[in-house]
Each structure stands twice: as structure tokens, then as C-alpha cells.
Amino acid sequence: MAYLTDLKRAVGMGSAREGTEHHWAMTKSSVALLILTPLFVFTFGPMLGEPHDAVVAYFSRPFPAIVAALTLAVGFMHFKSGVQVLIEDYVHGLARKIAIILMICLSYGAAATALFAIAKIAL
């Protein structure tokens, strides 16, 4: 029989003081994606099935390149934050730290690769 009060059981299980900041960051990136995703679909969609030269010429223009770059950058950062919360909630111990580090590296690596590809086409 444990003689712990409710307060003693709750110590160490409380707020990390990051929840509100994380919530607002996810909300802002969601709103940005809400605007950017249709723009991306309507700029990227017409190029499906076109020859390589036409696609490169199209994405050499500033507007399609900027929309694609913003969509991919915001999307990968939103992905990183969401998966980090998922891992924090469901994975414990050393596996949590390893999974978070791997997911952050994967997110930044994919975002950098995508932005490099768009910059290479646009420039």
C-alpha cells in the first residue's frame, strides 16, 4: 500500500512548458499549408505528363519555383513537428531519443534535397 498523495504522484508528470508554443507552431504551419497546397496543386498539376524540357522551363519561372519550395519546406517542418510529438507520446526510453534524432535528420535531409532540386531547376 502506497501512502502517496495526488500531488506526489503528479510530480514529474506535469507540463514541460512547451505545449502552447508547439500548438501555435503547428497551427501556423497548418494554415500555411492550407494556402500553399492548392497553389502547389494548381502550379504542379499542369506539368504532369509534360516533357522534361517543358517542366524545367516552367519551374525556371519564379512563381512556380517559390510555391513549390515553400510548400515542401513548410510541409517537411510540419511533418517533423508532428512525428516528434507522436514519438514522444508512444515511444519510451533510449528508443525515443534515437527515433527523434533519426526523424529530425530525415526531415531536414528530405527538405534540403527538395530545396536543392528546385534551386537547381530554377537557377
pLDDT band at 18 (very low <50, low <70, confident <90, very high): confident
pLDDT band at 74 (very low <50, low <70, confident <90, very high): very high
pTM of the model as a whole: 0.82
| Rounded Cα distance, 64 and 70, in Å | 10
Q: For the domain bounded by 15-122, which CATH number is listed?
A: 1.20.1300
Beta strands in the chain (DSSP E): none
**Is residue 122 within 8 Å of 59, Cβ to Cβ?**
yes
